[in-house]
Structure 1
Amino acid sequence: MTEPELTLEQLQQRENEWRFGTSTIARYERIIKAATIMTEAEKKALSEWEAIHVTGSGDYGTSDWPGWEAIIPRITH
Structure 2
Amino acid sequence: MVAAGVWFGWALQLSLLIPYIQLLGIPHTWTTYILFCGPISGMLVQPIVGYHSDRYPSLFGRQQPDEECPA
Do both share a fold (TM > 0.5)?
Answer: no
Report the TM range for the smaller structure's normalisation: 0.3 to 0.5
Q: Whose relative contact order is higher, 1 or 2, with alpha carbons under 8 Å and at least 6 apart?
A: 1
Question: Whose Rg is larger?
Answer: 2
TM-score (norm 2): 0.40
TM-score (norm 1): 0.38
